[in-house]
Amino acid sequence: MSDTLTNIKEQIASNPILIYMKGTPQLPQCGFSAQSVQALMACGEKFAYVNILEHPDIRAELPVYAEWPTFPQLWVNGELIGGNDIITDLYQQGELQKIIQEAAQGTAQA
């Protein structure tokens, strides 16, 4: 296993709510990342992020590991939730808030 893959797995395992995005929550570098992070911030819980523009190794390897080709990618409790379309849909349905709050409180069912 590559160091990059080990790093990705550690990031996902050690952060209950993690978004891989282009840019930062304060300064997103693409519209999809901006939309996703806005929905995530509206849930009102702390979350971790990785700016893939600063980590070309992660940008190259994560889509293969996740079997998900695009960014952003939202991971909650070690599971890929999805990209911008899924994040936005879940938010509009009120589901994202529940998922994020449960993860932040550590009450999500395994």
pLDDT band at 107 (very low <50, low <70, confident <90, very high): low
The whole-angstrom separation of Cα 6 and Cα 97 is 29
| pLDDT at residue 49 greater than cutoff 60 | yes
Q: What is the mean pLDDT of the chain?
A: 95
By CB neighbour count within 10 A (0-12 exposed, 13-18 middle, 19+ buried), where does 27 fall? exposed
| pLDDT at residue 110 greater than cutoff 60 | no
pLDDT by residue (tens digit) across 20-42? 999 999 999 999 999 999 999 99
Q: In the chain, how many H helices and how many E strands?
A: 5, 4
Domains defined for the chain, CATH in brackets: 3-105 (3.40.30.10)
pLDDT of residue 109: 47
Record the pTM.
0.94
Residue 43 among known ligand-binding residues:
no
Number of residues in the chain: 110
